[in-house]
Amino acid sequence: MSDPTRLRLTLNGHPLDVVCPPERILLDLLREDLNLTGTKRGCDLGTCGCCTVLVDRRPVLSCLTLALLAGGREVTTIEGVTPASGLSPLQKAFVDLGATQCGFCTPGFIMTAGALLRENPHPSRGEIASAVAGNLCRCTGYSKILDAIEAASRVA
C-alpha cells in the first residue's frame, strides 16, 4: 500500500478535506469512509450503473474511479440532489409514475437522468433511452423510468 495522500474536493456543495490512500476507490470513500450509502454497490465492475455519481456534473461510475481523481472537482451524490425537505421534480416523477420498484438502481438512474436533463432539458425518448443505457434495471423493464424522466423534463 502506498502512503495516504491528502484529497480535497467539493462534495455535495461542501468542501471536503480528507486523507485517502491512493488506491481508494471513490465508491468506497463515499460509502465506507463518509457513510453516504445512497450510492449503491451493484457490481464493482462498472457494469450496472448503480454507483453513478456526478463529477463536475457528468455521470461517472464511482466503482471505477480512484477517489484521488476527483481531487479539486465537484462530486455530487444522490444525497446532494435530494432537497432538505421533499423531493426534486425528477425524484417525485419516479415515485408517482412507478419508476422505482426494488429501488436499488434508482439513485444511479436519478443521477444519470439529472445530468441528462441539465444538458438537454427536453430530450426525446430515444435520447433518454441512450443516456440511461449504462444503468441496469431488472424490475421495471425501463418503461416507467423513461416515462418519469420524460415527465420531469416537461416540469423543468
Partner 1 sequence: MDAASPDQKFRLLGGRIPYVEGPLKVSGRAEYTDDIKRSGMLVGRLLRSPHAHARIRSVDVEAARRLPGVFAVLTGEKYPTQFGVLPITHDETAIAVDRVRYIGDIVAAVAARDELTAERALAAIRIEYEVLPEYNDPRMGVQKVEFPIHSRGLNGTNIQKEVVQHFGDVDAALGTASHFVRVRGRFSGVTHAFTEPLVTIAESTPDGRLTVWSATQVPHYLHRSLSEVLGLPMHRIRVIKPEVGGGFGGKSDPLPHEIACAALALETGRPVKMLFDREDVFLTNHGRHPTENDVRIATDAEGRILAYDIEALIDGGAWSSFGTVTTYYNGVLSMGPYRVPNFRYRGRRVYTNKPPSGAMRAHGGTNIRYSVETALDELSEQLNVDPFALRELNALPPNSTTINQFRITSTSFVKCLHAARQRSGWDAKHRKLPYGHGIGLGCSFYISGSNSPIHFTPKMPQCTVHLKVDMDGGIAVHCMQADIGQGSNTLMAAIVAEVLGVDLERMHVVRVDSDISPIDLGSYSSRVTFMMGNATRKAAESLRDQLVHAAALLTGYPPERLEVGHERISVRHRPDVGVSYLEALHKAMERSGALLATGSYTSPPMGGEFKGARAGTAPAYSFGAYVAEVIVDVETGEYRVPKVWAAFDCGRALNRLAVEGQIEGSIHMGLGQVMGESMNYRGSRLLNPSLLEYKIPMPQQMPEVECLLVGDPDPEGPFGAKEAGEGPLIAILPAVGNALYDAIGVRFTELPITPDRVVRGMEQRAAAGRTWKGA
- Cβ at position 60, least distance to partner 1 in Å: 16
Measured CA distances, 118 to 20, 40, 81, 147, 152 (Å): 31, 22, 12, 17, 11
Instruction: For residue 79, state whether it binds partner 1 (rule: CB under 8 A).
Output: yes
Instruction: For residue 103, state whether it binds partner 1 (rule: CB under 8 A).
Output: yes
Instruction: Tell me which of 27, 59, 144, 151 binds partner 1, using CB under 8 A.
Output: 144
Instruction: For residue 142, state whether it binds partner 1 (rule: CB under 8 A).
Output: yes
With beta carbons less than 8 A apart as the criterion, state whether 44 and 63 touch. yes
CA distance 139 to 100: 8
Instruction: Tell me which of 69, 133, 155, 156 binds partner 1, using CB under 8 A.
Output: 133
The CA-to-CA distance between both ends of the chain, in Å, stands at 47
Radius of gyration of the chain (CA): 16
Residue count, binding to partner 1 (CB under 8 A): 51
Per-residue x/- marks for partner 1, 35-54, CB under 8 A? x-xxxxxxxxx-xx-x----
Instruction: Tell me which of 4, 33, 130, 155 binds partner 1, using CB under 8 A.
Output: 130
What the block records as the C-alpha cell of 20 is 485517502
Q: Which helix (H) or strand (E) holds 125?
A: helix 125-131
Nearer to partner 1, 10 or 104 (CB): 104
CA distance 149 to 116: 9
Residues in the chain: 156
Nearer to partner 1, 8 or 98 (CB): 98
- Kindly list the residues in this chain that would bind partner 1 in the complex (CB under 8 A): 35, 37-45, 47-48, 50, 77-79, 82, 87, 91-92, 94-98, 100-107, 110, 126, 128-130, 132-133, 136-146
